[in-house]
Amino acid sequence: MVNEKRSVGILATGRYLPEKVLTNADLEKMVDTSDEWIVTRTGISERRIAREDEASSDMALAAARQALEKAKVAPEDLDLIIIATVTPDMFFPSTACIVQEKLGAMKAAAFDLSAACSGFLYGASVAAQFIQNGMYRYALVVGVESLSKITDWTDRNTCVLFGDGAGAAVIGPVEDGMGFLSFELGADGRGAELLKLEAGGSRKPVSKVEPGSRENYIHMAGGEVFKFAVRAMNSASDAVLVKAGISKEEVDFLVPHQANLRIIDSATKRLGLPDDKVIVNLNRYGNMSSASIPVALDEAVSEGRIKEGDTLVLVGFGGGLTWGASVVKWSTKEKGND
């Protein structure tokens, strides 16, 4: 359990998607691919693309404001801001500090967290512990990515996968027995080479990149990542249910990372859930990395699919390699001061 003394959950969610839609038909004009090839292998039909002048902090800010408004939490009452992203505005200052200033949340500690597509769950677990131990009351966790800006649009194997967007959650104390029931986090650095952006850091500064090397774009060993993803989604889902003392039969909804429909189908079968109990928006947004789970969660809540008392499994995997999962007893009812 995350907390036997103080229950912690998500008080509200928010999302932001850029206006520009890039369809598979558009991609057919850019690279050697087809709508049928993309849909059959991934389940993706279109994705959102940030404007040239739109950075991760801009999208995070929009999602954050929406979540705060729904939660009825003022920015100045925030104690902590965590931005999960692999596409920060810049190396430093952190995107979280930029968002903090724009929100006017000057009481909040702020930092970025890098766990790729598992980032939102890593961030939520960190925030939950601060609130559980009484150090803070309100935390804002945002998963945001501008993946289009590090995508190689000449590589048909990767450019069809990714999209941009932001999903936010306000995390705070909830009624006893509700909220996060368990977390499962993991990493296997032996797979670091399978999914990476090689250039731009201290190992290979941008100034050392050979012209035409494409090292400043996402590189992925698709087949190996796929096999890892299926294993990670299934094992993390099993482990987090055991930790929470919840059976598969008690799960109302699966909210998976939106990377590939075949991977989601595998996790769905493992839990024995019907399709209408799985939250999927992959076809419309593609893989938004750390933004995938919170955006899917916010859509499902906004549409009234997820209701008070529902038991959710959130699960994802990403570069690192990393994975994360959580069991959530859904409630947005804030518990008063102890």
Under the banding of pLDDT at 50, 70 and 90, the label for residue 210 is confident
Give Cα separations from 177 to 107, 133, 248, 252, 329 (angstroms).
Answer: 29, 16, 18, 17, 8
Tell me, what's the pLDDT at 195? 94
pLDDT tens readout for residues 211-242:
778 888 999 998 999 999 999 999 999 999 99
pLDDT tens readout for residues 269-286:
988 999 999 999 999 999
Q: Reply yes or no on whether 117 is catalytic.
A: yes
Please give, one letter per residue, the 3-state secondary structure of 66-88.
HHHHHHCCCHHHCCEEEEECCCC
β-pairing, 139-146 with 80-84? parallel
Under the banding of pLDDT at 50, 70 and 90, the label for residue 4 is low
| Catalytically annotated residue among 24, 97, 159, 257 | 257
Tell me, what's the pLDDT at 1? 40
User: Is a pLDDT exceeding 90 seen at residue 188?
Assistant: yes
| Catalytically annotated residue among 24, 97, 117, 260 | 117
User: Is a pLDDT exceeding 80 seen at residue 196?
Assistant: yes
Report helix angle 292-302 to 119-132, nearest 10.
70
User: Is a pLDDT exceeding 70 seen at residue 2?
Assistant: no
Under the banding of pLDDT at 50, 70 and 90, the label for residue 3 is very low
State the pTM of this model.
0.95
User: Is a pLDDT exceeding 90 seen at residue 200?
Assistant: no
Please give, one letter per residue, the 3-state secondary structure of the chain.
CCCCCCCEEEEEEEEECCCEEEEHHHHHCCCCCCHHHHHHHHCCCEEEECCCCCCHHHHHHHHHHHHHHHHCCCHHHCCEEEEECCCCCCCCCCHHHHHHHHHCCCCCEEEEECCHHHHHHHHHHHHHHHHHCCCCCCEEEEEEEEHHHHCCCCCCCCCCCECEEEEEEEEEEECCCCEEEEEEEEECHHHHHHEEECCCCCCCCHHHCCCCCCCCCEEECHHHHHHHHHHHHHHHHHHHHHHHCCCHHHCCEEEECCCCHHHHHHHHHHHCCCHHHECCCHHHHCECHHHHHHHHHHHHHHCCCCCCCCEEEEEEEECCCEEEEEEEECCCCECCCC
Q: Reply yes or no on whether 257 is catalytic.
A: yes
| Catalytically annotated residue among 24, 97, 159, 287 | 287
Contact 26, 159 (CB under 8 A): no
How high is the mean pLDDT of the chain?
95
Tell me, what's the pLDDT at 136? 98
User: Is a pLDDT exceeding 80 seen at residue 112?
Assistant: yes
pLDDT tens readout for residues 11-55:
999 999 999 999 999 999 999 999 999 999 999 999 999 999 999
Give Cα separations from 270 to 36, 41, 124, 231, 279 (angstroms).
Answer: 27, 20, 24, 11, 15
Tell me, what's the pLDDT at 69? 98
Instruction: Calculate what percentage of the chain has a pLDDT beyond 70.
Output: 98
Q: At which residue do the structure tokens 């800010």 appear?
A: 61
Full set of structural domains in the chain with CATH: 1-338 (3.40.47.10)
User: Is a pLDDT exceeding 70 seen at residue 62?
Assistant: yes
Under the banding of pLDDT at 50, 70 and 90, the label for residue 147 is very high
Tell me, what's the pLDDT at 101? 98
